[in-house]
Chain A
Amino acid sequence: MQFPGRRKKLIGSSQNDLYDHCLQFYGQPPLENISLAEFETFAVERLKLLKTVENIGVSYVKNSDQYSKKLEAEFSSLNFPLKTELGDRKVQGGISEYEKRRKDHISHFILRLAYCQTEDLRRWFIQQEMDLFRYRFGELTPKHKTDFLHKNNLKYETVSAEEKKSLKDKLITSSYGLSGITVEEYDFYKVPFQDALDLVRTRKVYLLAGNAYIPHHEIVTIVLNDFRTRLSKALAMTARSLPVVQSDERLQPLLSHLSHAYVGQDYSIQKNIGKISLEQIDALSGKSFPLCMRHLHKALRENHHLRHGGRMQYGLFLKGIGLTLEQALQFWRSEFVKGKVDADKVRLLL
């Protein structure tokens, strides 16, 4: 993100140019000054939104009515843009559509900084942004969809009415759920087949002269692929310029807090706090066990045997760090059996 010297004075018309569509590909980074407070607020709110996208996506079928309703509610409460028309004046006591779009733009780029560093972070971020984008694109009217495509250099032409007529039968039989009427009504886009590989691979689309004829409700898949590719590339580039940003002391703590907050599942499911599980023993013995215990563990693994005193000491220790009775039995049995002690006898040993 760049912070050029002076704050740009935004005049009415250029305001409209910058955010003339409620949806964007986030191609250009924002070029203005904002306060740290705004920086932080925007980032946190977008993170909340993305987290909600993730949760709602798990609880409901994506793009079903319930999904859409829930997401719409979240949009309003967090002040993210939904309306397709830019209002002229500031809404009484509320935030203008323009302001919401600006927030959308800036918050996306802030989160890019926070989520570009590792493969996992990137994957999570891209997944949520894609789901978010899919939802918002789906809410657009057909006209706005075409507008969006043209503004973003996805120069996919719509198929002319005459061509549709001549290809009617072929179009009906190539996509599931189309009839003569829908073919006439729907817009079809001509997309080079290289941009529609998923549909080509499964033969779910009509191909002619290297172009796939995509009904407009499928165009979102194409657009999403493009979105994912662009975002993926951008994140890789952002990761390379990250050191510069991180050297700014004001931003560094915020960014690392953001990236540690909501990532994937591991952090939200509290697994056995204060307890350990079988798989962890080997790893932990090297790092966190007291030396005496580490020694006992090593001896057990090497000799597949421990004498009475050793078993008592180590057994109590394992119980203390949280190994359950069943796991303890399993642990000892598996180890002693390797030492060719009868499994039944092991029970007597403990």
Chain B
Amino acid sequence: MSNSDYDPACLPDLLPIYYRRLFPFSQYYRWLSYGGVSKNYFQNREFSFTLKDDIYVRYQSFTTQNELEKEMQKMVPYKIDIGAVYSHRPSQHNAVKSGTFQALEKELVFDIDMTDYDDVRRCCSAADICSKCWTLMTIAIRILDRALREDFGFHHLLWVYSGRRGVHCWVCDDAARKLSVAARSAVAEYLSLIKGGEETLRKVVLSDPIHPFINHSLLVVERYFRQYAIVDQDILGSKESVDKVLAVLPEDIKKDLAVSFKDEKDPMKRWDLLCDLVARKKSNSKKGGQYFDKEIMLQYCYPRLDVNVSKGVNHLLKSPFSVHPKTGRISVPIDLKELNTFDPFEVPTISLICEELERPRAEEAEEDDMKDKENEQEAGERRRIRDYKRTSLAKYVKVFDRFLEAMARSRKGDMLKKSDLQKDF
């Protein structure tokens, strides 16, 4: 059982173990250094920590991996956020002439939060999630991943489970990190289809011509819609939810459907009736371009992003591999190849992995211990690698490793291209 009975009160005891023996510092440092191509990239990165008793400290920065480790082991943060790479070391920002301390670069990030879907999910609300509504995250990841790769040409995307009720995406390409505020907000708006707040009934409006991006997204939504919305969420079952669905339709269609639904109680057949009616109205109408059925599918399933998270270059976002204090779950990278089987309730908690550490070790472990006595520093790292490999964290660190490998290969390719251009053999 993955839960292993996580109790937030144990956090002060578990976190030191996590930071000393399990947090993947060397991969983390490797990620944020980006191959050392830009000078001081790691040193000028802002981190923020939330310490015990909700004490929040910003503008933390570190000069080496070792310093990062020591500080985290000393301060034992409950939450870790990653900010931008600044013009100077964030820890020295007060010493810099006012106006010259600026955020220069940061990954392009997206935050999908399940609470933003509360008006369209019936199974849970607020911070709760379940296997039924988790499909929304799967849909969101598929749509956004495709668009960011195919439309925008990005290659290095890290999808991370937030630990409770959502997912984050870190777009780490060089070009992405250099994007301006205007560019980030343009990308986020391109990806947004849901407009309107609580009072708006019809949140998606489609008109001719339908942009290829919307068509691609509809293809994804259509794959999941019947099982997710009609069966799991049962949006055409009870009167209350039927009314909500019909509320976005024009009067004439609404009336016809209300009548047909009196005789037809099967939700799947009701959906078919709705689609047929919309199709008929469309072919009769001179205006054309009436896509009410598609609009409903999008309203219930399409990803809802918070543009503000993506816009700011200096926006701080929860770090991968940090712990969620309320659930104890580690913010782990998501392997897109296994997306269909990803289960947020199987993500290891800090209590689980600390417990797994205590299990009796295999024989080879004792030999390794002998080698360790010879070289202390490397020993620390080797021990840490052996340690996490014995826990459920292992497979997630592997996903992270593969992500880092891909970036390293791509950097090498770029350098070769550059030196070829310069005729530098």
Contact = CB atoms under 8 A, between A and B. Distances in A.
Interface of A: 170, 172-174, 176, 193-194, 197-198, 200-203, 206-211
Interface in B189-233: 189-190, 209-215
Interface stretch (B5-13, B180-188, B313-321): B180-188
Interface in B212-264: 212-215
Contacts of A200: 186-187, 190
Contact of A203 (B150, B175, B183, B211): B211
Contacts of A206: 211-212
B211 A210 contact: no
30 contacts: A172-B209, A173-B211, A173-B212, A173-B215, A174-B209, A174-B212, A176-B209, A193-B153, A193-B183, A194-B175, A194-B180, A194-B183, A197-B182, A197-B183, A198-B186, A200-B186, A200-B187, A200-B190, A201-B189, A202-B189, A203-B214, A206-B212, A207-B151, A207-B190, A207-B213, A208-B150, A208-B151, A208-B153, A210-B151, A210-B152
Given A173-B210, A176-B209, A200-B190, A211 B185 contact: no
Contact of A174 (B152, B153, B180, B211): B211
Contacts of B153: 193, 208-211
B212 A170 contact: yes
B154 interface: yes
Given A176-B209, A194-B175, A207-B213, 7 more contacts: A174-B209, A174-B212, A197-B182, A200-B186, A203-B211, A208-B151, A208-B153
A207 B175 CA distance: 16
Contacts of A173: 209-212, 215
Contacts of A198: 186
Contacts of A203: 190, 211, 213-214
A290 to B, nearest CB: 44
Contacts of A172: 209
B278 interface: no
Looking at chain B, what size class is its interface with the partner chain? 20 to 34
Contacts of B186: 193, 197-198, 200-201
Contacts of B214: 203
A174 B208 CA distance: 10
B287 to A, nearest CB: 16
Contacts of A209: 150-153
B179 interface: yes
Nearest to B187: A200
Nearest to A173: B209
A4 to B, nearest CB: 36
A211 B150 CA distance: 10
Nearest to A197: B186
Contact of A210 (B175, B189, B190, B210): B175
Contacts of B179: 194
Contacts of A174: 209, 211-212
Nearest to B153: A210
A259 to B, nearest CB: 28
Nearest to A199: B186
Interface in B146-185: 150-154, 175, 179-180, 182-183, 185
A211 B211 CA distance: 15
A202 B189 CA distance: 7
Contacts of A170: 212
A210 B187 contact: no
B360 to A, nearest CB: 52
Contacts of A176: 209
Which of A174, A209, A210 has the largest count of B CB atoms less than 10 A from its CB?
Answer: A210
Interface in B73-91: none
